[in-house]
Structure 1
Amino acid sequence: MRILVIGGGGREHTLVWKIAMSPKVGKIYCIPGNPGIGQIAECVDISIADNAALVDFARTNHVDLTVVGPELPLTNGLVDAFAAAGLKAFGPTRAAAELEGSKAFAKELMQKYAIPTAGFAVFTDAASAKAFIRKTGAPVVVKADGLAAGKGVVVAMTIDEAFAAVDMMMRDQAFGLAGSRVVIEEYLTGEEASLLAFTDGYTVVPMISAQDHKRAYDGDQGPNTGGMGTYAPAPVVTPAVLEQVRQQVLQPAVDAMRQEGRLYRGCLYAGLMISEKGPKVIEFNARFGDPETQVVLPLLASDLVTVMEACIDGTLADLEVVWEDQAAVCVVMAAGGYPGSYATGDVISGIERAEQAGAMVFQAGTAAKEETIVTNGGRVLGVTAKAPTIKAAVEKAYAALQEINFIDMHYRRDIAHRAMEKRS
């Protein structure tokens, strides 16, 4: 088979790495890819927003299966364009991807179908949003309705912080049109977890649970980021909680989308708060998470290509998806200043030594410059290790990343701390 992967970050590096293990696969392309991906696949420089060019490439190169990594091509209707051309693509259609593309749509769907989530209200003008906040008080969560690269959420502990968030999104348009509508949500307490699932629109197969670390600094301090590291499985998602999420969240969401005429096929990501009252949905994403993919897919024992084909063909119920009884930890190495402004073009050394130390180094924000690899983003590398226990995986990942160096790099030193605390 000839496979095309869309995207160029750490998630896509992991997807390409896992797809390359399939005995079915002969050739892998990646658009646009990155230097790490380029060691496994042929990288091609085409805009991931250009549906027509992507379809033309897939048709010309006889691509058998296309896997869409990021959310923007999904909400841009790339899967629809491939289907119209008679080409197979893994991921939801534009209508189904609205589950991620509009937080208001997702919240209203959950309300309609009794899927547990925080209380909320939707506003299209700042004055009404502020009046609601003044009435309900703080803490409260303010979310831009549309896609904002993972940065459109503010957890406001005071009313003044909530007002500032509304102004940033609606008046200052920090996220463009994505903030023209905001969702004000009840503040939930508990422990967060991520649960991804494969689905063909009817059958839902949960993956291994994971827990991301959003805050920039140790001890969950500092600003929110796209994710500073993750681990799997997450002890907070016990077998009982997993079954609860499958029955009350994942299956109802897929059934609801089908009933709404938006058949959902691909990867469904549920961001959860595990509270004293049970799991509640913080958000849905319409694709593999980043960096959750970096710890979940290394634990998949089944052939990923076979699973993806079953999701597209509607035969997932006939397939047994098998997972390894191990743990995985990913530590993100970020550029200095991230998630604020940061430099690019700094030489990275030691990746090969880290891999020789037993880690998988998934490249995210990197570029090739002459004979070297340099920084080219905020989250630069995901150093991932797999071991029989979370403790062993943590030790392996941190030992390996000591081999890597670039100017002003920073990383959290407490990834998986909640899992480690539960052990003691």
Structure 2
Amino acid sequence: MKILIVGNGARESALGVKLQEDKRISKIFFAKGNATTDNIGQNYFESDIVSLRNLAIQENIDLTIVGPEAPLVDGIVDDFRKHDLKIFGATARCAKLEGSKAYSKKFMQTYNIKTAKAQVFEAYHDAIAYVKNHDYPLVIKASGLAGGKGVVVCEDVLEANATIHKFMIDRIYGDAGIQLVIEDFLEGYEVSIIAFSNGQKLFPCIPAKDYKKAGKGETGANTGGMGSAAPSPEWTAENQIDFEKNILEPTIFGLQEKNLNFRGFIFFGLMVTKNGCYLLEYNMRLGDPETQVLMALLENNLVDTIESCLNGDDVELKFSDKKAVCLVICSGGYPQNYETGFEIKGTDKVEHSTLLFAGASREAKRIVTSGGRVLSLVATGDSFDEARDKVYADALPIHFDYAYYRDDIGKF
């Protein structure tokens, strides 16, 4: 078999490492890939849909797996299917559940999916008037794709006004912020649940914990993710029942009623409060860094599981009873401005973890930084402490200029 994986993060590195277990696979292409994937397979440096489709045709690719959200929103699945190419991911219509937070919030409200109260705004002055007398804190979200960073928890009206101005007037996230979702703040802890879809049913993985904030103790700016742990340590059997009844089942009903049938991944971003589980957002893809810990614990053959979903068959997901921790090492300044091109040293000293590059590329014999989230270290153990000790021991010898990471990942 030949596989094409679209994306260049640690998520795609984790998929590549998982697929290495399958002896049927003769070659894996990564578009655009990174310094891990070029050791696993072959990096392909074009990323537009037409180029990827032509690659799939020319190389007789048997299966394409899409990592990031942008190609899904842009219709890569629709295009590949027109050319009878096998691909696992959401169609453009389905990907709108991630590509437009306004659309997804309306979907949640229509199908009585448990979520925070919210309103959508397209006019700057209407948004400013709304937050003037609102209770605080409140949450302001850019409706479009903003790389996981277009969400701000505002503590007072001054911060809300400034955030609305940055999103709608300054356009710090481009067109993503010209439409806003402003919703009530929910207090609790976040949980990520990713499910496989076979076109009719959803099959959830074990819950994972994502550390979204840049600073220790979940402080500072939102990021794409500073680390993860699985299974989520706070999650209970009661939470699972609540999630299935009030979020999962009505989502399945809504997808079917709107004919949003797809074969791919769907991500439920949850907030667990004293009043139960609430849905914060849908992502129509695997999460990063959740994928890193889920792939470390998944016991199923990934290709067989995807093939079953593509055929419309049910799947039974099996996960190890071990614990997994992922630590993300970042470029100084991330998620705001940061420099790249710094040589990464000490990775040959990694002994206890799986090293997954993300924002890193190979230049001659050197590996240099090329993004904000540079690499992930993933380890498993019989306890979270054991897994945590492994990733932090392996982080010590790794060095590049301005490197930083949180020191509380996997600590509960």
The TM-score normalised by the length of structure 2 is 0.98
TM-superposed CA distance for 1:347, in Å, is 0.8
After TM superposition, give the deviation of residue 286 of structure 1 in Å. Answer: 0.6
- 2:354: which partner in 1? 360
What are the residue-to-residue correspondences of 1:238-387 with 2, within 5 Å?
238-315=236-313, 317=314, 319-354=315-350, 357-387=351-381
- Structure 1 residues 184-241: Cα deviation after superposition (integer angstroms, max 9, x where no partner): 0000001111111111122221112111111111122221111111111112221221
Structure 1 residue runs of 4 or more that deviate by more than 3 Å after TM superposition: none
Root mean square deviation of aligned Cα: 1.1
Count the aligned residue pairs: 412
CA distance in 1, matches of 2:96, 2:178: 16
Q: Which ranges in structure 1 are unaligned for 5 or more consecutive residues?
A: 419-424
For the residue of structure 1 that corresponds to 2:404, the secondary structure is coil
- Residues 2 and 65 in structure 1, CA contact (< 8 A), matched pair in contact too: yes
How many angstroms apart in 1 are the aligned matches of 2:302 and 2:155?
42
| Matched residue SS, 1:150 | coil
Q: Percent identity?
A: 40
d(CA) in 2 for partners of 1:23, 1:116? 43
Q: Does the 8 Å contact 1:201/1:254 carry over to 2?
A: no
For structure 2, the 5+ residue unaligned runs are: none
Structure 2 counterpart of 1:145: 143
| 8 Å Cα contact 2:216-2:407 kept in structure 1 | yes
Deviates more, 1:257-266 or 1:206-215: 257-266
1:110 is paired with a residue whose SS is helix
Equivalent position of 1:421 in the other structure: none
Q: Is the Cα contact below 8 Å between 1:230 and 1:330 reproduced in 2?
A: yes
1:234 corresponds in structure 2 to 232
Q: How does 1:85-164 map to 2 (within 5 A)?
A: 85-164=83-162
- Which residue of structure 1 aligns with residue 386 of structure 2? 392
Alignment match, 1:18:
18
1:254 shift after superposition: 2.8
Q: Residues of 1 paired with 2:170 and 2:333: CA distance?
A: 23
Q: Which amino acid aligns with 1:78?
A: I
Structure 1 residue 350, shift from structure 2 partner: 1.7
Tell me whether 1:82 sits opposite 2:80 in the alignment: yes
Displacement of 1:140: 0.7
Structure 2 distance, partners of 1:134, 1:232, is 40
Q: Secondary structure at the match of 1:347?
A: coil
Is the 8 Å Cα contact of residues 298 and 328 (structure 1) preserved in structure 2?
Answer: yes
The residue matched to 1:136 in structure 2 has which SS? coil
Q: CA shift at 1:163, angstroms?
A: 0.9
Tell me the secondary structure at the aligned position of residue 397 of structure 2: coil
Offset, 1:104: 0.7
Deviation (angstroms), 1:403: 2.2
Q: Check whether the contact 1:97–1:286 (CA below 8 A) recurs between aligned residues.
A: yes
Matches of 2:209 and 2:269, distance apart in 1: 9
Tell me the residue number matched to 1:31.
Answer: 31
> Which secondary structure state, in structure 2, belongs to the residue aligned with residue 383 of structure 1?
strand
Partners of 1:24 and 1:323 lie apart in 2 by 22
Q: Which moved more, 1:6-15 or 1:252-261?
A: 252-261
**Mapped partners of 1:351, 1:310: distance in 2:** 37
- Give the secondary structure class of the aligned counterpart of 2:217: helix
C-alpha distance in structure 2 between counterparts of 1:255 and 1:363, whole Å: 38
Offset at residue 366 of structure 1 (A): 0.2
Q: Which residue of 1 aligns with 2:62?
A: 64
